[in-house]
């Protein structure tokens, strides 16, 4: 059995875990695979509180998250919660006995720290750590050893080498996005279709409302159709979304709630407005859909944004009006800029089958 451990602090960890799970099931359907949020299973109430606090911090008080991010990077930071760590290690040891995994795949940085003391006490299966950020690799990923590391790109591999990781343990697999990104593309749309913009809101409600107001002229003039998958943000954004929907023709604006269609949505739009999350930016690359990055979580996501911007596959905006200006640039002259960026989004930068590459790496480390 392969045990995939994740944690719901940001979408990237869970996206990577679920994508690897799906790829393993397609490659080896007879092999048992268990994918779970270890913290949610072990400490459900506390974990939900911490996950909510994390979401509030990155959305409304990024300065507070940057402080916490930097504090956690200091040597010995995890020692301050040693009593809690002991409880987690006991739970981890119990589940190791229960599941008897042949391999552990971690998409969250703390599991190597929990496993390190157990290695001295008992047999522990190999650990494959899948690093879900590009370039900005937090020290907690590397403070304790893993048997192998899967990274998204050569730039991140270079960071690990600089920090003394054995090159034989580092594998560039790409970020494991949904295997559906590797499916055949749909036929191209007619040339006279209006441009399609995908907006993935993650900022506070006032910022989202201001962004929609700035984008309204493009929609009203028929130059763009706007699709907005609100997902978990639907409730908090209900009023600004409803107000915008009432102000534009219904055929030019679509609100989507929870969806499993993100691969299709990304691949059928000309540009996407989004934050610099590790998962979404690698989904952008896999879909070959240029991005307008409207928010970067300090510390955590800066490397992700720099990676896409340095390859000229995205624009960066710092205000709702700048977002609209970037969107106008993207779709001008029949989406000329978007097409130029799309032309740069090729292997090894774009890796739509990265989940399969990571799954094959996992299978190589089975014991």
The first and second tokens of residue 283, run together, are 């989904």
Q: Pick the residue with more confidence: 120 or 189?
A: 120
106 contacts: CB under 8 Å, gap ≥ 6: 4, 5, 6, 112, 127, 128, 129, 130, 146
Q: Where are the beta strands (DSSP E) in the chain?
A: 2-6, 33-37, 103-106, 127-130, 148-151, 170-172, 195-199, 224-229, 253-256, 271-275, 291-295, 314-316
Neighbours of 299 (CB within 10 A): 19
Residue 169 to residues 108, 227, 266, 319: CA-CA distances in angstroms?
A: 17, 42, 33, 41
pLDDT of residue 65: 81
pLDDT at 188: 67
Per-residue pLDDT at 223 exceeds 80:
yes
Which residue, chain included where needed, has tokens 């800066």?
302
Residue 80: pLDDT over 70: no
Stretch 21-44: mean pLDDT = 95
Higher pLDDT, 187 or 291: 291
Residue 79's pLDDT is 62
Interval 244-275: pLDDT, tens = 999 999 999 999 988 989 999 999 999 999 99
Q: pLDDT (tens digit, 9 = 90+) per residue, 225-241?
A: 999 999 888 999 999 99
Q: From CA 119, how far away is CA 266, in angstroms rounded?
A: 42
Tokens 């506390």 — which residue?
46
Q: How many angstroms separate the CA atoms of 260 and 240, rounded?
A: 24
Q: Which domains does the chain have, with CATH numbers?
A: 2-177+353-364 (3.40.50), 185-344 (3.40.50.2000)
Residue environment code for 164-192, b if the CB has 16+ CB neighbours within 10 A, otherwise e: ebeeeebbbbbbbbbbbbbeeeeeeeeee
Percent of the chain at pLDDT > 70 equals 96
Q: Strand pairing partners for 291?
A: 272, 314
Give the side-chain half-sphere CA count within 13 A for 71: 10
Mean pLDDT estimate for the chain: 92
pLDDT score at 244 = 96
**DSSP 8-state symbol, 189:** P
Residue scoring higher pLDDT (58 or 189):
58
């Amino acid at each position: 059995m392969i045990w995939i451990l994740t944690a719901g602090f940001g979408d990237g960890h869970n996206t990577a875990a679920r994508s690897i799970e799906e790829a393993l099931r397609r490659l080896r359907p007879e092999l048992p695979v268990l994918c779970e949020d270890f913290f949610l299973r072990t400490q459900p109430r506390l974990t939900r509180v911490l996950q909510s606090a994390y979401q509030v911090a990155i959305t409304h008080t990024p300065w507070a998250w940057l402080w916490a991010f930097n504090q956690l990077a200091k040597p010995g930071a995890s020692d301050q919660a040693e009593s809690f760590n002991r409880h987690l290690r006991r739970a981890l040891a119990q589940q190791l006995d229960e599941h008897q995994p042949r391999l552990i795949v971690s998409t969250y940085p703390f599991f190597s720290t929990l496993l390190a003391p157990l290695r001295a006490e008992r047999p522990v299966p190999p650990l494959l750590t899948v690093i879900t950020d590009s370039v900005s690799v937090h020290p907690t990923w590397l403070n304790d050893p893993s048997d192998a590391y899967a990274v998204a790109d050569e730039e991140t591999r270079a960071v690990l080498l600089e920090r003394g990781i054995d090159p034989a343990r580092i594998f560039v697999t790409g970020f494991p996005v949904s295997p559906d990104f590797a499916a055949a593309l749909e036929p191209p749309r007619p040339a006279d279709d209006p441009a399609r913009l995908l907006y993935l809101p993650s900022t506070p409600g006032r910022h989202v409302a201001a962004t929609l107001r700035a984008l309204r002229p493009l929609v009203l003039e028929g130059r763009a159709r706007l699709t907005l998958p609100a997902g978990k943000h639907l409730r908090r954004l209900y009023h600004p979304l409803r107000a915008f929907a009432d102000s534009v023709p219904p055929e030019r604006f679509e609100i989507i709630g929870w969806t499993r269609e993100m691969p299709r949505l990304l691949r059928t739009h000309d540009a996407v407005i989004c934050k610099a999350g590790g998962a979404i930016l690698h989904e952008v690359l896999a879909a070959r859909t240029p991005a307008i990055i409207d928010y970067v979580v300090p510390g955590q996501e800066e490397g992700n944004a720099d990676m896409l911007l340095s390859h000229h596959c995205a624009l960066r905006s710092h205000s709702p009006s700048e977002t609209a200006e970037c969107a106008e640039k993207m779709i001008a002259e029949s989406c000329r800029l978007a097409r130029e960026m799309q032309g740069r989004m090729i292997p090894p930068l774009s890796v739509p089958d990265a989940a399969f590459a990571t799954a094959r790496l996992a299978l190589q480390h089975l014991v």
